[in-house]
Amino acid sequence: MASPIIDASGIVKDYGAARALHGVSLQIGTGEFVALVGPSGCGKTTLLKILAGFEEPTDGRLEIQGKDMRGVPAASRPTRMVFQKLALFPHKTVAENIGFSLKLQKVSKTETDSRIRTMLDLMHLKPDYLERYPAQLSGGEQQRVALARALVSQPSVLLLDEPMSALDAKLKKSLQAELKKLHRELGTSFVLVTHDLEEAMMLADRICVMRSGHVVQVGTPADIYYRPANMFVAGFIGETNFLPVTATAATDGGMAVTSPLVVSGKTTIASEHVSPSLSAKGTALLVRPETIRFVKGDAAPGEWLLDGHVEEYFIKGASTQYRIRVQGLDAAVIMDLPGSIVLPAAVGEAVRIGFDPVQAFLLSE
């Protein structure tokens, strides 16, 4: 990255005896959209608050636009935040909420008015909302006002703390699309905190997956999805299958894998299908639900086969999900088949399933 707008290195944050962040390093480029993802308590919100200046790191160095941020209060940083619960001032009108930062900067009345108008247009808010109070707006409208309030001062970095978690699914989808469009139009750097990896994949240029105060993986959505660093990242994306295997180094840089559950034996996984951070502990093949099929005749060449019985199925419309109980596996195997009016198997039926191990991805705990 030529000139990162945010350069955090070795950020440590302690709350009393508890360590929330264990030396997190992350660079964010100018105009980049980065998502911080992880389960609750992973430290993503703490990191965002450190970027915003609401929390001071215990150790480590944070630079924004090349300047050391130690001791720089939130008010003097080129960042603006959209809060999880929005934090719109309930006693101020929409116009006063949006124009608050301009009032503090003593921007002239005409300039303030024109910038508020620009924000209204950008956020598709009606001008007659200006004199309303936040409580008189719907959830989606409040969201837009919160975005307008943050963007009106033309920040270099916009920080978003799970701003869409309280909205219903449909509204969330449309706001996500708008947020992406907004990012493209403005060229401002966006940092989004979310626990929803799907949302992060949709919106972000790069995703930083965090777990208990550590960065697990940083990469593009494609990296995260197709080349997850470990089972935690792979499992975080959604329901998937892990087949425990024994892996040994093969001659051409790939890995030779075997599974005690599969008689057909040994397969070589090419190096691009192997996680770069592979360790010996808990190696497994990541087999995606959509790559598994029912085998009712001959197996395809090289295909790995498993025998089990149908535990449950769910009709989802476009697809049908089957859960297959296989002897020797702790979790049921999940498979997503294209939806069809005729169901391929009934509950309790003994079935044989198969997948091509060459297409699977080798990783570890």
Partner 1 sequence: MRIESKSWNDPVLVATVAPLAVVMVAFFLVPLLMTAVLTFQTTQYYRLVWTWDLKIWTEVFSKPHYWTIMLRTVTMALICVVLTVLIAFPVAYALATRLKTFKTQIQILIIFAFLTDAVLKTFGWILILDKNGVANWLLMHLGFPPEMLNLLFTPTGTMIGMVYNLVAYPIFTIYLSLVRIDRDLVLAAYDAGASRFRTFFEVTLPLSRPGLYSGAVLVFVLSLGAFLEPKVLGGGTSPLASELIRQSFETRVNWPLGAALTMVLITTGALMLAACAAFALRRTATTRRPA
CB-nearer residue toward partner 1: 154 or 359: 154
Residues in 37-76 that interact with partner 1 by CB under 8 A: 52-54, 73-76
Q: Given CA atoms 136, 140, 142, 148 in this order, what sign does their dihedral have?
A: negative
Alpha helix segments (H runs only) across the chain: 44-52, 94-104, 109-122, 139-151, 169-186, 197-203, 221-226, 231-237
CB-nearer residue toward partner 1: 38 or 134: 134
CB-nearer residue toward partner 1: 88 or 179: 88
x/- map, 212-251, partner 1, by CB under 8 A: ----------------------------------------
Q: How far is C-alpha 328 from the chain's CA centre?
A: 32
Q: What's the min distance (Å) between Cβ of 161 and partner 1? A: 9
CB-nearer residue toward partner 1: 132 or 180: 132
Assess 118 for contact with partner 1 (CB under 8 A). no
Out of 87, 107, 171, 305, the residue judged to bind partner 1 by CB under 8 A = 87
Q: What's the min distance (Å) between Cβ of 84 and partner 1? A: 8
Q: Are 262 and 299 in contact (CB under 8 A)?
A: no
Out of 83, 226, 232, 294, the residue judged to bind partner 1 by CB under 8 A = 83
Strands (E), 283-355: 284-287, 293-294, 304-315, 319-326, 333-338, 350-355
CB-nearer residue toward partner 1: 101 or 112: 101
Segment lying near partner 1 (by CB under 8 A), choices 78-86, 170-178, 197-205, 257-265? 78-86
Q: Are 72 and 54 in contact (CB under 8 A)?
A: no
Q: Which residues contact 66 (CB under 8 A, 6 or more apart)?
A: 3, 7
CB-nearer residue toward partner 1: 142 or 241: 142
Q: What's the min distance (Å) between Cβ of 74 and partner 1? A: 4
Angle between helices 109-122 and 94-104 (to 10 degrees): 130
Q: Given CA atoms 337, 351, 331, 303 in this order, what sign does their dihedral have?
A: negative
CB-nearer residue toward partner 1: 154 or 277: 154
CB-nearer residue toward partner 1: 6 or 150: 150
Distance CA 194, CA 120 (A): 26
CB-nearer residue toward partner 1: 103 or 184: 103
Q: What's the min distance (Å) between Cβ of 48 and partner 1? A: 12
Distance CA 230, CA 56 (A): 31
CB-nearer residue toward partner 1: 159 or 333: 159
Assess 90 for contact with partner 1 (CB under 8 A). yes
- Name the 3-class secondary structure at 255: strand
Find the length of the chain.
Answer: 365
Q: What's the min distance (Å) between Cβ of 123 and partner 1? A: 17
Distance CA 31, CA 187 (A): 5
Assess 106 for contact with partner 1 (CB under 8 A). no
How big is the site for partner 1, counted in residues (CB under 8 A)? 32
Residues in 140-179 that interact with partner 1 by CB under 8 A: 142, 149-150, 153
Q: What's the min distance (Å) between Cβ of 82 and partner 1? A: 9
Type of residue at 188: T
Assess 295 for contact with partner 1 (CB under 8 A). no
**Residue 59: in which H helix or E strand, if any?**
strand 59-64
Out of 11, 24, 50, 81, the residue judged to bind partner 1 by CB under 8 A = 81
Q: Distance of CA 249 to CAs 44, 216, 257, 262, 268, Å? A: 36, 24, 9, 19, 9
Q: What's the min distance (Å) between Cβ of 77 and partner 1? A: 8
Instruction: Give the number of other CB atoms < 10 A from CB of residue 290.
Output: 13
* Residue 42 φ then ψ, to 5°: -85, -10
Residue numbers of the site for partner 1 (CB under 8 A)? 52-54, 73-76, 79-81, 83-91, 100-101, 104-105, 133-136, 139, 142, 149-150, 153
